[in-house]
Chain A
Amino acid sequence: MINRYRWYELVAIYAGIFVFLAFILAPFVEGFIVSLKPLSLLFSSPYKFWPENGSFAAYYTMWESVPGFARYIFNSFFISTIVTAIVLILVIPAAYAFARFNFRGSGLLLGAFLAVNMFSGAVLLIPLFRLMRSFGVLNTYLAMIMPGVAFLIPSAIWLLRTYMMRIPRELDEAAFVDGASHFYTLRRVILPIAMPGITVVAITTFIGAYAQQFIYALTFNSKTEYMPLPVGLFAYFGRQEVIWNELMAASFVGIAPAVVVIFLLQRYLVSGLTAGAVKQ
């Protein structure tokens, strides 16, 4: 291996990486440090970055301040999992159809999906609310799951379609010549080969659902027991004061399950995103 960079170039590169990483990670670091400090110390002046007599006390007391917090984490996880499952069930055959068949209006439909993606859910809140009310699903899990699914399908289709288009068409043709139906081909041939792509879609959908549920939960649900994590965090905003240290601790505990899932799947994520980038 030849040293392609001079020492000062390397220094500049690492400095650049450090600046960006610091920018991205600073809120997390600050949040974590806040979670370690006693509440009284948070507003002390002069402000001290490093906690004195810091402890993990907030991680214990947070469960007492907001007793339903475990339920909120479960709700978030539950809603995201269901959304991901429904999206995958709908998107896999759809992406296969878009990748393989020439049918009238396929380009138009794909364009429409992209256009839908440009509207954030927030723009459509009022019509959606009326829709939910007509269906009578307000204040149920369904009220948070349905819009989540609807808004995550378009990008999932685009992502998976691109992946499936990279699978050689001759595999389908070979299966067709051997007498396999389209669904048989999808199940036995395409699905296993597209597994990395499907994992990518599953992860992005899961993250999307985790991040997106806040606005639907706030609007379509008023029952405390169905609230997901982001809304649940509001419980730490008291009438008099905000329990900042517990709020930060709760945030970290709340995203932990999702982080664990993503860490387990990340090797698929990387290989999925780069598959086909090099000659195989």
Chain B
Amino acid sequence: MGQLNLNRVQKFYGTFEVLKGIELEVRNGEFVVFVGPSGCGKSTLLRMIAGLDGTSSGDILIDGKRVNDLPPVKRGIAMVFQSYALYPHMTVFENIAFPLRVEKMAEEKLKAKVEQAARILHLDQRLQQKPGMLSGGQRQRVAIGRAIVREPKIFLFDEPLSNLDAALRADMRIELAKLHRQLKATMIYVTHDQVEAMTMADRIVVLNAGEIAQTGAPLELYHKPANIFVAGFIGNPKMNFLPVTCKGASDEGVVVDYKGQTVVVPVRPHGGLVGRTLTLGVRPEHILLGAGDLTLTVTPTVIERLGAHTVAYAAISGEGENYCAMLPGTVAIRPEETVQTGIRAADCHLFDEAGIALERRVELTDIDMGLLNPAAA
């Protein structure tokens, strides 16, 4: 079992509140990813779950038992560090065996366990080598092996792939996902890389400035971000935001005005919107060439050809940020040549003045609902 509950967990460094009352439930066997910008408190939260940092207030429960005052080993967790934290003077075998040596496990049993872990991680041939002779990916696997042999209830990963190069990172992502299915253990994974979050997570927890901005399945966060922060954080390139004025609201959706064009965005309205300035969000990949429900004529300044896609950046008068569009790979546009781009109302997101999203009435028939809501599956 590996059920984790966080009840109003707070952390202060001096008077600075790093974590502001985190409430979270992680079910047994779930792969949960904490993601957020640097300094959002995600690593601190992980270290608190591990028992490396104390909580200022609130409870951490593992399988219903309060573990705040227990040392890491008694919590039933194992942690994999960003820098691998391998012992350079020990062989791979001794590195993996270290937690078992601490437990004073009998030699035969220890050997069997280490060899089993090595098999899972394809390290059988490396057991007598020192970490210095291994590649980055192999080192990280040794670090994971050291976590596996303890058979913890919960695995904690602190940005384990960020020291690897891009190709190796993709391989390790796949291996970790396989490992999760094989071990069926609860895993909590911290990263600032949204690709890692989107690809591996059952559920993503987006943290911003010490608070949970949103918790949900990867596609839920993509299609129904709860607020501007999540909308801007998930998705690459970043979502475009345009200031619009609310002209009215009906069952159809919210009528907004952008520089003289009105568009009905199919979102669930709440009272007191009319006359207010709202933020319209649209993802670069949803921008089309030609006219749409909302049509913008822009002059691209920079065009990036990525093969599969073309990313075009344009400055829009009166707005600081670049307007970004992701178009097909062979699209016929050139820098400094004006083009017409269109946005479909159904693709739009709408945020109120506080940055909270108005719920989209998106047709998600092409999305598996089980993916959106793991509990319903």
> B residues 78-113 with Cβ under 8 Å of A?
78-79, 81-83, 85, 87-89, 98-99, 101-103
Q: A173-B52, A174-B79, A176-B52 are in contact. Are A168 and B85 (CB under 8 A)?
A: yes
Kindly provide the distance from the CB of A41 to the nearest chain B CB, expressed in whole angstroms: 57
Q: Does chain B have a CB within 8 A of A52?
A: no
In the complex, which residue of chain B has the Cβ closest to the Cβ of A190?
A: B87
What B residues does A178 contact at CB under 8 A? 72-73, 78, 98-99, 102, 146, 150
What B residues does A168 contact at CB under 8 A? 83, 85
Kindly state the separation between the CA atoms of A188 and B101 in the bound complex, as whole angstroms. 10
Q: A192-B89, A193-B88, A193-B89 are in contact. Are A177 and B72 (CB under 8 A)?
A: yes
What A residues does B89 contact at CB under 8 A? 192-193
Kindly provide the distance from the CB of A128 to the nearest chain B CB, expressed in whole angstroms: 41
Q: Does chain B have a CB within 8 A of A127?
A: no
> Are B77's CB and A177's CB within 8 A?
yes
What A residues does B50 contact at CB under 8 A? 177
Q: A176-B52, A177-B73, A192-B89 are in contact. Are A170 and B83 (CB under 8 A)?
A: yes
Q: Does chain A have a CB within 8 A of B329?
A: no
Kindly state the separation between the CA atoms of A68 and B258 in the bound complex, as whole angstroms. 104
Say which residue of B52, B83, B87, B99 sits within 8 Å of A179 (CB atoms).
Answer: B99
What A residues does B102 contact at CB under 8 A? 175, 178-180, 184
What B residues does A174 contact at CB under 8 A? 79, 81, 85, 146
Kindly state the separation between the CA atoms of A173 and B73 in the bound complex, as whole angstroms. 11
Q: Mark A228-241, 1 if CB is under 8 A from B, else 0.
A: 00000000000000
What B residues does A180 contact at CB under 8 A? 98, 102
Q: Does chain A have a CB within 8 A of B216?
A: no
Q: Does chain B have a CB within 8 A of A171?
A: yes
> Are B72's CB and A176's CB within 8 A?
yes
Kindly state the separation between the CA atoms of A175 and B98 in the bound complex, as whole angstroms. 8
Q: Which of B77, B98, B103 has the most CB of A within 10 A?
A: B98
Say which residue of A177, A189, A192 sits within 8 Å of B51 (CB atoms).
Answer: A177
Kindly provide the distance from the CB of A214 to the nearest chain B CB, expressed in whole angstroms: 39
What B residues does A179 contact at CB under 8 A? 71-73, 99, 102-103
Interface of A is mostly: helix
What A residues does B83 contact at CB under 8 A? 168, 170
Q: A177-B52, A178-B146, A179-B71 are in contact. Are A171 and B87 (CB under 8 A)?
A: yes
Kindly state the separation between the CA atoms of A184 and B89 in the bound complex, as whole angstroms. 15
Kindly state the separation between the CA atoms of A184 and B71 in the bound complex, as whole angstroms. 15
What B residues does A184 contact at CB under 8 A? 102
What B residues does A170 contact at CB under 8 A? 81-83, 85
What A residues does B88 contact at CB under 8 A? 193
Kindly provide the distance from the CB of B50 to the nearest chain A CB, expressed in whole angstroms: 6
Interface size on B, residues (CB 8 A): 23
What A residues does B79 contact at CB under 8 A? 173-174, 177
> B residues 103-125 with Cβ under 8 Å of A?
103
What B residues does A171 contact at CB under 8 A? 85, 87
Kindly state the separation between the CA atoms of A175 and B72 in the bound complex, as whole angstroms. 10
> B residues 38-84 with Cβ under 8 Å of A?
50-52, 71-73, 77-79, 81-83
Q: Which of A177, A179, A193 has the most CB of B within 10 A?
A: A177
Kindly state the separation between the CA atoms of A170 and B88 in the bound complex, as whole angstroms. 13
Kindly state the separation between the CA atoms of A176 and B98 in the bound complex, as whole angstroms. 11
Kindly state the separation between the CA atoms of A168 and B86 in the bound complex, as whole angstroms. 10
Kindly provide the distance from the CB of B105 to the nearest chain A CB, expressed in whole angstroms: 11
Kindly state the separation between the CA atoms of A235 and B89 in the bound complex, as whole angstroms. 50
Kindly provide the distance from the CB of B135 to the nearest chain A CB, expressed in whole angstroms: 16
Kindly provide the distance from the CB of A166 to the nearest chain B CB, expressed in whole angstroms: 13
> Are B87's CB and A177's CB within 8 A?
no
What A residues does B99 contact at CB under 8 A? 178-179
Kindly provide the distance from the CB of B205 to the nearest chain A CB, expressed in whole angstroms: 22
What A residues does B87 contact at CB under 8 A? 171, 188-189, 193
Q: Which of A170, A178, A188, A193 has the most CB of B within 10 A?
A: A178
Q: Mark A166-207, 1 if CB is under 8 A from B, else 0.
A: 001011011111111000100011001100000000000000
What A residues does B82 contact at CB under 8 A? 170
Kindly state the separation between the CA atoms of A168 and B131 in the bound complex, as whole angstroms. 15
Kindly state the separation between the CA atoms of A179 and B147 in the bound complex, as whole angstroms. 12
What A residues does B146 contact at CB under 8 A? 174, 178
Kindly state the separation between the CA atoms of A178 and B156 in the bound complex, as whole angstroms. 13
Kindly state the separation between the CA atoms of A179 and B89 in the bound complex, as whole angstroms. 19
In the complex, which residue of chain A has the Cβ closest to the Cβ of B82?
A: A170
Q: Mark A242-276, 1 if CB is under 8 A from B, else 0.
A: 00000000000000000000000000000000000
In the complex, which residue of chain B has the Cβ closest to the Cβ of A180?
A: B102
Kindly state the separation between the CA atoms of A193 and B85 in the bound complex, as whole angstroms. 13
Say which residue of B78, B81, B101, B103 sits within 8 Å of A173 (CB atoms).
Answer: B81
Kindly provide the distance from the CB of A153 to the nearest chain B CB, expressed in whole angstroms: 26
Kindly state the separation between the CA atoms of A189 and B102 in the bound complex, as whole angstroms. 12
21 contacts between A and B (CB under 8 A): A168-B83, A168-B85, A171-B85, A171-B87, A173-B79, A173-B81, A174-B85, A175-B102, A176-B71, A177-B72, A177-B73, A177-B78, A178-B78, A178-B98, A178-B150, A179-B72, A179-B103, A180-B98, A188-B87, A189-B87, A193-B87
Besides A177-B79, A178-B78, A193-B88, 5 other A-B contacts (C-beta < 8 A): A177-B52, A177-B77, A178-B146, A188-B101, A193-B87
Nearest 7 A/B pairs, CB to CB: A179-B73, A178-B99, A174-B85, A170-B85, A177-B72, A192-B89, A179-B102
